[in-house]
Amino acid sequence: MSKLGSLGARLHHGEVGYDFIKSRKIWYGISILITVLAILGLTVRGLHMGIEFQGGAVFTTPKNMSASVAQAETYAEEASGHDAIVQKLGDGSLRIQIAGIDTGVSDKIKTELSQDLKVNPEQINADLVGPSWGEQIANKAWLGLGIFLFLVVIYLAVAFEWRMAVAAFVALIHDLTITVGIYALVGFEVTPGTVIGLLTILGYSLYDTVVVFDSLKEQTRDITQQTRWTYSEIANRSINSTLVRSVNTTVVALLPVGALLFIGGGVLGAGMLNDISLSLFVGLAAGAYSSIFIATPLVADLKEREPAMRTLKKRVLAKRARGTETGGPAESRMPDDSHDHGPTDAVPAAPAIVGPHHQPASRSRGRGRPSGKRR
């Protein structure tokens, strides 16, 4: 842990780092590939909507049923004429879900199930959801998601700038598409818990992105008044300085969610936890990825298109070329944001890929003066 803390400090001060911005085309390619696979899965398999969205009935049997899940599924499909989903709960009872049926035929289905399962009809609990109510729930879920995304874009445009708002919006859509695509491929049921999970992970993804954006905004103040570093290089420093914090918070968040998904849903058989835990697990991982590999590199791409940033980049490269030709010492440190140097050209800075700083002593500082001595 001490080594990890030391690495975080070195990343923050620019002593070590990785050039995320330079490799941005690789990250874009990976994200596009995953997104295309998610869209294909969504197109081919589709989402398995729960009865809360399309209406239907849920029948819960008494505890310690002798019938297997496969038998109960067969009985339910024969009684209703529709596909059925059967889950065995921890107490041995069966949860039989039949979507798309008219609530008026639920009594008939309940009677036939009781005969097939050899239990008293009064011991089977039936929860009914009408199609119109399910449609209202679906519309409200889409409305809530749309309002959330709209407010996010407005807030980021006001707090930072429109380019960061666009980058954050793209990252959120990226996370949402991947999570929904995974749902389609896995075949998990989409319930109101799924919607809650999606809104939660979008907020978490936004948090990671805003942390990097805040660091970037702070380090690029008066950037055009210096000629040492381009916008992309300082953006890369912002990612590196917050990298360990983002990884730590993501891992800490994934551990309990992973326990909820794999132990609660898989080992203990609490299938009702799968809807929210899967969206949280996939969304948290995708959100951490997008905040580092998508949002900030995209901001750098958009900013580098500005005339002022293009001019700055030309000045920076020209100055470095002159320094190389004259044999000047190589600059090997990133801007140190722990000190206020002011908007001057003397801001100590470093390139995106950095290492321990060793500044060779100049042997010609005293030459050319009348006394020939150093002051």
- What residues in the chain have per-residue pLDDT under 70? 1-17, 103, 131, 134, 264-273, 325-375
Which H or E run contains 137?
helix 131-159
Beta-bridge partners for 94:
88
Residue type, 81: G
Distances (CA, A) of 16 to 289, 302, 317: 20, 26, 22
Tokens of 71: 């038998």
Q: What's the confidence (pLDDT) of residue 352?
A: 39
Q: What's the confidence (pLDDT) of residue 302?
A: 92
What is the Cα–Cα distance from 207 to 226, expressed in whole angstroms?
30
Q: What's the confidence (pLDDT) of residue 134?
A: 66
Q: What's the confidence (pLDDT) of residue 329?
A: 52
Q: What's the confidence (pLDDT) of residue 356?
A: 40
Q: What's the confidence (pLDDT) of residue 350?
A: 40
DSSP string, 44-108: HT--EE-HHHH-EEEEEPPSS--S-HHHHHHHHHHHHSS-EEEEE-TTS-EEEEEES--GGGHHH
Place of tokens 């070195």: 10
Entry pTM: 0.70
Q: What is the dihedral of CA 282, 283, 289, 295, to 10 degrees?
A: 150
Which H or E run contains 29?
helix 24-44
Place of tokens 């996010």: 152
Domains and CATH numbers, the chain: 2-48+133-303 (1.20.1640.10), 56-129 (3.30.70.240)
DSSP string, 240-252: HHHHHHHHHHHHH
